[in-house]
Amino acid sequence: MRKGISLSNTHRVILVAAAVTGLFVVLQALRSSGIITLYWSQVLDLSLIMTIAAVGLSLIYGFAGQFSLGHAAFYAIGAYTAGYITKTYGGTIVTFVAALLAGALLAGLIGYLIGLPILRLRSDYLGIATLGFGIIAKVVLDNSDKISPVLGGAQGMLGVPRLATFAWIYWLAVLAIVLARNFILSSHGRACIAVREDEVAADIMGIDTTHFKLLIFALGCALGGLAGGLYAHVYPFLSPSLADFLKSFDFLLIVVLGGLGSLTGSVVTAIGWTFLLEWLRKVLPQDFLDWRGVIYALVLIVLMIARPQGLLGGKELRLLRPARSTGKEGSRHASA
Amino acid sequence: MRRVYALLLAAAMVVAAGCGGAPSGSGGLDDGKTIKIGFIGPLSGDVKSYGVSAFNGFELALEQAGYKAGDFTIEYVKDDDRGRPEEGTNLAIKQITQDGVKAIVGSVTSDVTKAVSEIANQHGVVMITGTATADTVTVDDQGKRKPFVFRTCFLDSTQGKVAAKFALEELGKKTAAILYDKGNPYTVGLAEAFKSAFVAGGGQIVAEESYGRDDTDFSAIVTKVATANPEVLYLPDYYNKVSLIGQAVRAKGLDVVLLGADGWDSTDLDFQIMDGGYFTAHYSPTEPREAVQKFVQAYREKYGSDPDSFAALVYDATNMLLEAIRQAGTDDPDKIREALQNLKDFPAVGGDLSFDANGNPVKDVTIQKVNKDGTFEFVTKITP
Amino acid sequence: MSQLLEQLFNGFQLGFVYALIALGYTMVYGIIRLINFAHGDVFMVGAYIGVFGFTLWGLPWPVAILVAMAACAVLGVTIERLAYRPLRHKGAQPIAALITAIGVSLFLEYFCSLKFVFGPDYRVVRLPFEVQRWSLGGASITNVQLLIVGVVIVLILALQYLIQRTKVGKAMRAVAQDPDAARLMGINVDRVIAYTFAIGSALAAAAGVLFVFAYPQLRPFMGIMPGLKAFTAAVLGGIGSIPGAVLGALIMGQAEVLTAAYITTDFKDAVAFAILILVLLVRPAGLLGRSGPEKV
């Protein structure tokens, strides 16, 4: 039942690149012409930012099986770092790029350092430890005005220049997805998946489990930091609650709902869920706005019970799978 | 595979539905004779009583004006920020970009208003708050004015100073302790203002502790404060927090005079616990001035209870906004801003008001006392 | 010195309340390896019902506590039946149950915030008795603190008796050890799990009312932080271990209060979690936990 055209690798890449660019052009046109209103443009921006962070967590949890309940901490670290740089040094292209890089790198570095001691904890305990780290991060941010008044402390940081245009966000999201995909399909990625599937066996096979666990964790956190950095330049107000457990849970929910081990799932769910929430806000009549939270929770519960493996558990969009020229049928992607 | 495509299709539909379906009254195009204004306030959440009062004041003002300002018909959008700055930010953006409001009345608490003021100022939409008292609402952190932002209440720097003056001179106390929420620009500003004025007036701050917004257990810091033996305890937070701290204070048997700020002004305050405490207020419904009594009457008739400061202040703010629209004669927010800035001696419940260069009015501070029978009592009025 | 003593009392007040909540977490985890995130919200519901008991319904407060406990036992069992059991029977991954648990937690919070339920606002609570203070060694101690410690100790002893000396308790221990073997021995595993939820939820309800005695305010989101801290306490002490939960909770309570008192209030929340991480690094199964084989 597979469509029979077998494309070579180069052809695939060109096709995908064309499709992605085409989509960009279309979306950009819709935005400029006002067909997509300013409000929904912002929602689109935020959903793409969520995607980047979700991809990061997907790597950490979906593919490497590291149960992290503190992803938002890295998101917040990226946001504050990047915001600090452009706020202090002015908002130019150079500082913007530097800020994003700094945010991602710092998040990745801290992820690495945190990971060193805690990644050897058992799954549930790792979750709790990362949760604890998230709270510590929030408390540090609450007191960030002691580090520098620019950071605002518990009152939040205002005044970060709004430099993140749709172009930046879109292409960085594409970059994140490509990066993640290539990583998974590389030998590094395969090693990580082996570690998740059966750590003892992987160990015996000579894979340096610690190294790979750390590597993917740091990479995932860095992506989270990148997302945060972008967020800081879209949204005028940063507060320490960005590192909150609730935010971490948002990311986790997206990855799980999308299906573990599925990059496509994470991307689709990230975008879809963000829009769904905003749509709920719009669609509910004024007096019923407080039902939004209830509906969100109910949808979540029902989805999980009805389909616990997530929407796309283990499945991947054809585009993101390797070309079949590897000989074997390439659709047997590592499943959840 | 088919499932995936179906999913993507569904996602696309959601996106399309969301973007395509323009909500009624958006696009920001007025028919030339209608102006939309937005109301943002905490209609639910921790400080709901402020928001409800504020909205009542807003509504009463609009009603008395017949929902007209000059030739324009006024429509409004009402949103609940739940007392959270993130929510306020979202709502401000929505009201400006989605609903097309030309002016915003709100918010109520300083932390939310600060965030909303940034948005309003950035987008060039007039914002007037009746009740946010933190200094950095109408000016930014460097002291630069945000031209589109105004308020009809006094500043925390004023309030805090007057509280200190009251404690030193009227109550004759020499030592004080301060407990404040470090995450709230309102309490932080008040604590700072009180502290410098109290010390400058010859008093001594014997203890100063901060807590977090969601804290419920104050036993540790109250015990700490107790050992310093203050005569006055300054609690410049909202009524719900203050009631909880007051409970801890009473439980420890601390013999102090409780002193606070306008955040205490609510019928939901725990009058029993806070009995005998004083706070700086914007107005008192028992003040005999005509403007006050007329307003109190009208409010009582419509809502069946006496208006608190929040209602009075937002009533004033709304009226001043309507007057500015009248005078500007256009829906151009910049012209409205200009008209508002130039208002002189506008007859308001809070006095004859004009805005200074920073968008703040010059006003007296009222001191009220808390009685355990559930009433507030007018004590005195102080000119800062 | 008397300040230290008083701070220790403060710490115990907090710690014992956490202990009661932690027990529920640890019991449920011990038996089905699930972190029941909704537990903190059962605590909240218990608090509300208890308060309604001694205010609206005019019940004497001990009765109100019992009513709250009974109501929450039912709530806990219902949640288990509707949300967790289907997943268990489907053989779903543990993460699915976890996410569902969080979903239930959010649902309870938002549902109770609706105007026709509890409403989203703070409510001040009028205590049904006078707060009395005594001085003990120069430190102030209240009847509320004594009440909390007393009630919690009684409940812990009752729980221990239940677990160690009754058939139900034996069944619970069996299922905790090996559900399949227990099933083979003729134990109705589903029913045992339901009992566990019932007991844990009842304890949470009691904790809720005691919490309100100490901090007389109600709001629908009041269970988040105490739930989180109690859960951390359970992990600290070794999740699955009842004495561990109590120990962990007392440590958490003291850490929080003493940090606030002697170091700074700013970091008091962080300190507790930092302690947790440090302990986990040294003793990965918690202080009194039994370290099982590494989950592969």
Q: Are B286 and B309 in contact (CB under 8 A)?
A: no
Find all residues with CB under 8 Å of C70, minimum gap 6, and list them: C202
Angle at B360 between CA B357 and CA B364, to 5 degrees: 125
CB within 8 Å of chain C, chain B residues 15-44: 44
Contact assignment for A279 to B17 by CB distance below 8 Å = yes
Partner residue facing B221 (CB), from C121, C124, C265: C265
Query: Are the CB atoms for C29 and C233 separated by under 8 Å?
Result: no
For chain B, how big is the Rg over CA atoms in Å? 22
B142 three-state secondary structure: coil
pLDDT digits (tens, 9 = 90+) for B206-242: 999 988 877 888 888 898 898 899 999 999 999 888 9
* pLDDT-derived band at A295, boundaries 50, 70, 90: confident
State both tokens at B182: 């470090």
With tokens 């014997």, the residue in question is B206
Query: Please, which residues 232-291 of chain C have a Cβ atom closer than 8 Å to chain A?
Result: 232, 235, 239, 266-267, 269-270, 273-274, 276-277, 280-281, 284-285
Higher pLDDT, A309 or B242: B242
* Neighbour tally for A280: CB within 10 Å: 16
What torsion, rounded to 10 degrees, do the Cα atoms C152, C156, C157, C163 define?
A: 160
Helix (H), strand (E) at residue B320:
helix B309-328
Residue with tokens 């905490």: B42
What is the 8-class DSSP label of residue C19? H
Per the listing, tokens 């401000």 go with B92
How much is the pLDDT for A335? 40
A313 confidence band (pLDDT: 50, 70, 90) = low
What pLDDT score does C196 carry? 93
Residue B215 and residue C255: Cα distance in Å, rounded? 15
C137 has a pLDDT exceeding 50: yes
Say how far apart CA C145 and CA C135 lie, in whole Å.
Answer: 13
Nearest to A294 among C111, C285, C295 (CB): C111
The answer to whether residue A43 neighbours chain B at the CB level (below 8 Å) is: yes
pLDDT-based confidence at A323, cuts 50/70/90?
very low
C159 touches C199 (CB < 8 A): yes
CB contact (8 A) between residue A122 and residue C284 = yes
Percentage of residues of chain B with pLDDT beyond 90: 40
Please list, in sequence order, all residues whose beta carbon lies within 8 angstroms of the beta carbon of residue A221, skipping any fewer than 6 positions away.
A56, A60, A71, A74, A107, A108, A110, A111, A112
Helix axis angle, A209-232 relative to A71-89, nearest 10°? Answer: 50
**Predicted pLDDT at A319:** 55
Q: By the 8 A CB rule, do B128 and B153 touch?
A: no
pLDDT at C247 over 70: yes
DSSP string for residues in C167-232: HHHHHHHHHHH-HHHHHHTT--HHHHHHHHHHHHHHHHHHHHHHHHHHS-EE-TTTTHHHHHHHHH
Run of H or E residues at A215: helix A209-232
List CB contacts (< 8 A) between B17 and chain A: 279
Rounded to two decimals, what is the model's pTM? 0.81
- Neighbouring CB atoms inside 10 A of B294's CB total 11
The closest CB to that of C265, out of B211, B227, B251, belongs to B211
When mean pLDDT is compared across A83-97, A317-331, C186-200, the lowest value belongs to A317-331
User: Residue B257 above 60 pLDDT?
Assistant: yes
Q: What average pLDDT is seen over chain B?
A: 85
Question: Cα dist. A149→B190, B234, B260, B332, C187 in Å?
Answer: 18, 25, 27, 36, 62
CB count in 10 Å sphere of residue B327? 17
Quick one: pLDDT at residue A287? Answer: 64
Interior CA angle at B210 toward C237 and B259, to 5°?
130
A65-75 pLDDT, tens per residue? 888 999 999 99
SS3 B227: helix
CA distance C30 to C175: 9
For the record, the structure tokens of B32 come out as 């030339």
Distance from CA of A132 to the nearest CA of C (A): 5
Report pLDDT digits (tens) over A14-46. Answer: 888 898 899 999 888 888 887 777 778 888 999
CA B149/CA B130 separation, integer angstroms: 11
Longest Cα–Cα distance of chain A, Å, equals 63
pLDDT value, residue B14: 47
**Cα–Cα distance for residue pair C247/B18, rounded to 1 Å:** 52
Across residues B189-209, what is the average pLDDT? Answer: 93
Read off the pLDDT band of B31 (50, 70, 90). Answer: low
User: To the nearest whole number, what is the mean pLDDT of chain C?
Assistant: 87
Write down which chains contact chain C via at least 3 CB pairs under 8 A.
A, B
Structure tokens belonging to residue A295: 């509906």
Rounded average pLDDT over A224-251: 88
* Model confidence at C24: pLDDT above 80: yes
pLDDT tens digits, B258-313: 999 998 988 888 888 899 999 998 888 877 788 888 999 999 999 988 888 899 99
* Spatial contact of A73 and A226, defined as CB atoms under 8 Å apart: no
- Tokens 């097309």 identify what position? B100
CB contact under 8 A, C110 and A139: no
Highest mean pLDDT among A156-165, A299-308, C265-274: A299-308
With 50 as the cut, is the pLDDT of residue A327 above it?
A: no
Q: Of A239, B382, B209, nearest to C261 (Cα)?
A: B209
Strand order of the β-sheet with B365-371 is: B204-211, B175-181, B232-234, B257-260, B278-281, B365-371, B375-382
Which ranges constitute the DSSP H helices of C33-142? 39-54, 61-79, 85-90, 94-113
Please report the pLDDT score of residue A286 as a whole number: 61
Nearest 5°: CA angle at A16, between A13 and A20? 135
Token pair of B344 as six digits = 């002189």
Q: Say what percent of chain A tops pLDDT 90.
A: 27
Could you give the count of Cα atoms lying within 13 Å of A155 in the half-sphere of its Cβ? 28
Cα(A212)–Cα(A320) distance, rounded to whole angstroms?
22
Instruction: Give how far B349 is from chain A: nearest CA, Å.
Output: 31
What is the average pLDDT score of chain A? 82
pLDDT of residue C77: 96
User: Cα(B349)–Cα(B353) distance, rounded to whole angstroms?
Assistant: 9
Cis, bond preceding A32 (omega within 30 deg of 0): no
pLDDT score for C295: 38
Selecting from A39, A240, A264 the residue whose C-beta is nearest the C-beta of B4 gives: A264
Compute the average pLDDT of residues A112-130.
86
Q: CA of A194: which chain C residue's CA is closest?
A: C296
